[in-house]
Amino acid sequence: MRTRRLAPLALLAVGSLALAACGSGGSGDGDGGGGGEALDSLSIMAPYFSTTPPEDDDPVGAKLEEVAGLGLDMQWVPNAEYGDRTNVVLAGDDIPDVMVIQQKSQGFVQTAEAGGFWDLTEYLASGDYPNLVTENPEVQEASSVNGTVYGVYRARDVVRTSLTIRKDWLKNLGLEEPTNTDELMALAKAFTEDDPDGNGKDDTYGMIIPAWGASIGTGSPYDAIEAWFGAGNVWKDDGGQLIPSFTTPEWKQALDYEKQLIANGYVNKDYATMDGSTQWNEPFLNGKGGIIIDVQSRATQLAGLFKDKDPKTYDQYVALQGNIAGPNGDFALPTPGYSGFLAVPKASVQTEDQLKQVLTALDKLSSKDAQILENNGIEGDNFTVDGGFADFDESKQEYTDLVSGSWAQIGTNVAGYEAYKPKPDTEYDAELEQERVDLQATDLEKAVFNPGAALVSETYMSNGVQLDQVIADARIQYISGQIDEAGLDAAIKQWGASGGDAVTAEMNELYGQLG
């Protein structure tokens, strides 16, 4: 009988030895040895985004059990409740064999470093599980905790930042898509001052930016511009030492650029208050603003909205451009490249033999056949294959949404995405999708990864939210003209004195240990 007990999170700091010994798994380096009863099923805790979770007799689940060679005991949790449930489960008596961990929270990091999760670093590097061998080592390292891999990360597009531009405005003014920041500034100026819609009125502006009070490194338009200027990505390696990106001269140069956009009126006046979740598309659709810096799917979404308005002319409004060069080089802003990971608790998977059984099942659940089931559904039921694409049955859209909103959450795709992409409705849709893929490949070659992504500073874990807010507030205050350069410098000094200097020291100590 397998026990499933982890020490409560509040006791981890003083109870790590007890935690590591709660199962027979040892330290997580394979010293749990063999033996132990084999698993006859695999319990997995995962979030779901669909209206309801899959039923116990869901046909996709049944086929995935066949692929995995094990029964799947799924513990579905609404995504909105998942973080809280994770903490409850870790502090409880019934621990699943595999858990989707959505972020490197303080609770997870403490649990992992206290011995509560298996160290998968060497197992994944062994090549014994080919579908779990990452095609992006930088992403796997970023998902680790100080270089130790505690989970198989769930891969996402590594490069998504792009410019979405009013194609008809470019045509009206006889302009090309920008290739660098100077050209972007000139385009924002033209879209503001040169009547791009041809209505004879002064009623347009260049760039649409929503309120973005979050910290550095959250994928904002400001982050993209700062990366293009060469400021780095949250952290920057400066001669073997990590420095915060916002302490670089390139960051200040980028802020002056952003400040110029705002001061010249090339940005929507409500940039500090606009709700990005509900209002970001509106000015673009309504012919008020012409440039959006966001993920590539924004272009696809906008094209679809134009199609809803007029299917005959919708292909005339959206142009897509990737990352552009800055004055100090040609850089692209990548995403973290993952969305959480699948971790294996030692309380339930207690021996190395059991761990290998779990990894074998996860390897099979990352195969092409499994990916199709997890992302598309069942061929011949809710979709058919047409020209290498999934052609979904509209009458079964609700089930398709269930599949993508639940089963896809246990997919990893670390060795590459092999499920079918949705069949494009038109030639323009196919062209836009291909352009997106081509831009990702081009921008990946110049992506600037965060060199500190794998590192976990104790001071930052306890005080990071407050520290981040200091810089986030200072950035928006500076580019809006509320504070001057002295005020910006004072905010950065405040960050350092409030714990930022300690974070930097801890990050560099860990960085040196990575080798």
Q: Write out pLDDT tens, residues 162-181.
A: 999 999 999 999 999 999 99
Backbone angles phi, psi at 274, to 5 degrees: -60, 135
Structure-block tokens of residue 448: 């600037």
Q: Are residues 343 and 317 in the same domain?
A: no
Percentage of the chain beyond pLDDT 90 is 90
Instruction: Identify whether 58 is part of a domain.
Output: yes
What is residue 65's three-state secondary structure? helix
Q: Kindly give, in sequence order, each residue whose CB lies less than 8 Å from that of residue 300, ignoring residues fewer than 6 positions away.
A: 432, 433, 436
Residue 273 and residue 391 in one domain: no
Domain with 390 in it: what CATH number? 3.40.190.10
pLDDT value at position 208?
98
pLDDT at 6 over 60: no
Contact 342, 151 (CB under 8 A): yes
325 and 343 belong to one structural domain: no
Residue 355 located in a structural domain: yes
pLDDT 10s digits, 379-415:
999 999 999 999 999 999 999 999 999 999 999 999 9
Residue 292 CB contacts under 8 Å (≥ 6 apart), including other chains: 163, 164, 165, 207, 208, 221, 280, 284, 298, 302
| Cβ–Cβ under 8 Å, residues 164 and 295 | no
CA pair distance 274, 286, nearest whole angstrom = 15
Last residue of a domain, one of 410, 442, 472: 410
Judge whether 290 lies within some domain: yes
Task: For residues 322 and 192, state if they share a domain.
Answer: yes
Give the domain range for residue 273. 161-333
For residues 60 and 379, is the Cβ–Cβ distance under 8 A?
no
Residues in CB range of 76: below 8 A, 6 or more apart: 46, 47, 48, 53, 54, 406
Report the pLDDT value the prediction gives residue 34, as an integer from 0 to 100. 52
Q: What's the whole-model pTM score? A: 0.91
More confident residue, 23 or 93: 93
* Same-domain check for residues 43 and 152: yes
226 and 126 share one domain: no
Query: 456 φ, ψ to 5°?
Result: -120, 105
Q: What is the reported pLDDT for 215? A: 83
β-pair type (151-155, 71-78): unpaired
Query: 275 and 391, same structural domain?
Result: no
Q: Label residue 10 by pLDDT band (50, 70, 90).
A: very low
- Do 197 and 287 have their domain in common? yes
Is-contact 32 378, C-beta < 8 A?
A: no
Choosing from 333, 350, 368, the residue where a domain stops is 333
- Average confidence (pLDDT) over 303-313: 97
**Residue where one domain finishes, among candidates 333, 361, 377:** 333
Whether residues 176 and 315 fall in one domain: yes
Half-sphere exposure of 237 (CA within 13 A, CB side): 10
| Same domain assignment for residues 135 and 41 | yes
Task: For 271-297, write each residue's pLDDT tens digit.
Answer: 999 999 999 999 999 999 999 999 999
24-33, 332-341, 456-465 — which is least confidently predicted? Answer: 24-33
Asked whether residue 208 is domain-assigned, the answer is yes
Taking a C-beta distance cutoff of 8 angstroms, is the pair 440, 335 a contact? Answer: no
In a domain, residue 486? The reply is no
Say if 276 falls within a structural domain: yes
Task: Compute φ and ψ for 317, nearest 5 degrees.
Answer: -115, -20
- Is residue 280 in a domain? yes
pLDDT exceeds cutoff 50 at 452: yes
Q: According to the model, what pLDDT value does residue 93 have?
A: 84
pLDDT in tens, 201-250: 999 999 999 999 778 999 999 999 999 999 999 999 999 999 999 999 99
- For residues 499, 505, 506, 511, the Cα torsion angle rounded to the nearest 10 degrees is 140
- Beta strands of 208-332 (E only): which ranges? 235-238, 241-244, 289-295, 318-321
Pairing of strands 389-392, 383-386: antiparallel
Closest CA to 216 of 464, 448, 511: 464
Quick one: 227 and 175 in the same domain? yes
The strand pairing partners of 390, in sequence order, are: 385, 422
166, part of any domain: yes
Same domain? 212 vs 358:
no
Q: Tens digits of per-residue pLDDT, 407-436?
A: 999 999 999 999 999 999 999 999 999 999
Number of compact structural domains in the chain? 2
Strand ranges, E, within 167-225: 205-207
Number of helical H runs and strand E runs in the chain? 20, 13
Digit-coded pLDDT (tens) for 94-104? 999 999 999 99
Does the pLDDT value for residue 30 go beyond 60? Answer: no
Residues 472 and 214 sit within 8 Å (Cβ to Cβ):
yes
Question: Considering only CA atoms, which of 16, 39, 41, 11 is closest in space to residue 28?
Answer: 16
